[in-house]
Amino acid sequence: MPVSQYLANIKDTVQSAWEGMTVTFSYLFRRPMTVQYAGPEKAREKHELVQDTLPSRYRGFLEVDLAICTACNACERACPINVIAIEIEKDPANPKLRVMTRFDIDEGKCMFCGLCVEPCPTGSIQHTREFEGTQRTLSNMVLRFVDPAKPAPPYKVAKGATAFPRAVLGSITRPLVKAWDSPPPPLPIESAEEAMAHAAKKAH
């Protein structure tokens, strides 16, 4: 190694280390990029704040406004991983009408792709800006939008309607998200025949 190269090595090392060290030192005088996230003790009150920073297109938990749901099953068909389960039965009170007895979304399985939102004719199913729903039990992640005691009738779209009266985004999903340590729902105990019938019905 020639002497000039030897000296150049030393000079380059010193100079570049100097350059780099001035860069890192200068960050001591700047405001950090990260922000203090609220701790567990403040999670509730700061929760709203974090959500406000999210863009309106944020794809958080799904929400269905059953008041304007037409029960068209488009979202169930669009979902690539069968996260949405809809069951429509005849209304026992008025056999000519149909009612939704089940509209479940398994947020634990959802990949938040947004494919179900696009085919919805009324904008009933939407992504909210909710994202905090840690659960001790995975089955608690299933959001049940229909109360089995009160089946929901489908929404009739008025001719030529372009806007639909949708509830405030998030107001339906937020109460459905359970506390993180809430007990799991009871397992549905069904007989083998019932299960078979269920599966056959699904297959159709």
Distance CA 74, CA 156 (A): 15
Q: Is 39 in the site for other proteins (CB under 8 A)?
A: yes
The encoded tokens of residue 26 equal 């200068």
Restricting to residues 83-142, name those near other proteins by CB under 8 A.
111-115, 118-119, 127
- Please pick, from the candidates 22, 52, 159, 193, the single residue that binds other proteins as defined by CB under 8 A: 22
Query: Tokens 């905090």 label which residue?
Result: 132
In this complex, which beta carbon is closest to other proteins, that of residue 126 or of residue 135? 126
Q: Is 52 in the site for other proteins (CB under 8 A)?
A: no
One-letter amino acid of 33: M
Distance CA 89, CA 104 (A): 15
Q: Which stretch binds other proteins (CB under 8 A): 27-35, 44-52, 155-163, 166-174?
A: 27-35
The encoded tokens of residue 171 equal 């107001």
In this complex, which beta carbon is closest to other proteins, that of residue 12 or of residue 89? 12
In this complex, which beta carbon is closest to other proteins, that of residue 129 or of residue 178? 129
Q: Is 20 in the site for other proteins (CB under 8 A)?
A: yes
In this complex, which beta carbon is closest to other proteins, that of residue 31 or of residue 96? 31
Size of the site for other proteins (CB under 8 A): 44
Integer Rg of the chain from CA: 27
CB of 189 to other proteins, least distance (A): 31
How buried is 98 (Cβ within 10 angstroms: 0-12 exposed, 13-18 middle, 19+ buried)?
Answer: middle
Distance CA 135, CA 184 (A): 10
Q: List Cβ neighbours of 51 (8 Å cut-off, separation of 6 or more).
A: 129, 130, 131
Distance CA 76, CA 142 (A): 15
- Please pick, from the candidates 3, 48, 80, 175, the single residue that binds other proteins as defined by CB under 8 A: 80
**Chain positions contacting other proteins, by CB under 8 A:** 5, 8-10, 12-13, 15-17, 19-34, 36, 39, 54-59, 78-80, 111-115, 118-119, 127
